[in-house]
Amino acid sequence: MTARTKRIVVVTGAGIGIGAASAKAFGALGDHVIVTDVLEAEGHATAEAIVASGGSAEFHPYDVRSTAATDALVADIEARHGRIDVIIANAGIAHRTPLDELTDEKWDLTFDIDLKGIFRLVRAAAPGMRARRSGAIVALSSIMGVAYGWDEHVHYSAAKSGVVGLVRGLAVELARDGVRVNGLAPGYIRTAQLLSEENSLGPVGAEKAAEFIPMGRLGLPEDIADVATFLASDGARYITGQVLVVDGGLLVGRY
């Protein structure tokens, strides 16, 4: 633990994948991590892993679709810890759905989690951050939201594109109050989502994708987590409103 103040860091969707890796990365830095997820067993496991490694963490079950749950979570954290310093808004879903099967309900579910879920949490936490004139928010978009289209995932691509606009708008609105807002757009990352045959590339498709990534491999959740810790750090103190692509050179390598 360094001499710096232990930050209070909230990570959504922290039970698995990028969220879990991000929570552990902040825990390794000596921060107190509020691990949240609808996956309770996995969320508890992430928090326990941080503590077992000598870090500080707690788990809270949390569904980003609920405004009441969001407001209660923020109020509880601020009451017990006095503040929220960092938010990693990672919770998201992606369900393969052809256009002719894409109902209003499926569209709304994706937007409610992948886009509105970020908005809800930032809206609730922003007053405290503004009052303290300090805060860093990192929202997860995707290369499917900044450059690529994804067939049978138009709802996902649209929601992740919305994250880019949300990041820009929030960054401008909160900048003068000392709060920074940035985004991350991961490429192909080795997660349960990517390896799902039903909803994404599957194991075979993922390995084929690795062949045309210039760096020659799929990304790991830790590759994204380390950039998240940077964006939340003082090293990124003059960066706001940006969405960093972390994809092993995929986008620039495709012609």
State the catalytic residue, choosing from 156, 188, 238, 255: 156
Q: What is the pLDDT of residues 223-236, one digit of tens each?
A: 999 999 999 999 99
Q: Does domain 8-250 have CATH number 2.60.40.10?
A: no
User: What's the length of the chain?
Assistant: 255
Residue 2 has pLDDT above 50, yes or no: no
Tell me how crowded residue 77 is: count the other CB atoms within 10 A of its CB. Answer: 22
| Mean pLDDT to the nearest integer, 140-165 | 95
For tokens 């990352």, name the residue.
189
pLDDT in the model for residue 207: 76
SS3 70: helix
Lowest mean pLDDT among 82-86, 115-119, 184-188, 199-203: 199-203
Q: How confident is the model at residue 254 (pLDDT cuts 50, 70, 90)?
A: confident
Under 8 Å between Cβ of 112 and 63: no
Closest CA to 58 of 44, 40, 41, 69: 44
Is 255 one of the annotated active-site residues of the chain?
A: no
Q: What is the pLDDT of residues 52-92, one digit of tens each?
A: 999 999 999 999 999 999 999 999 999 999 999 999 999 99
Residue 1 has pLDDT above 60, yes or no: no
Residue 124 has pLDDT above 50, yes or no: yes
85 or 205, which is more confident? 85
Q: How confident is the model at residue 192 (pLDDT cuts 50, 70, 90)?
A: low
List the structure tokens of 119: 């908005």
The 10 Å CB-count burial string (b at 16+, else e) for 40-72 is eebbbbbbebbeeeebbbbbbebbbbeeebbee
Under 8 Å between Cβ of 26 and 1: no
| Mean pLDDT to the nearest integer, 208-226 | 91
| Mean pLDDT to the nearest integer, 86-99 | 95
pTM of the model: 0.95
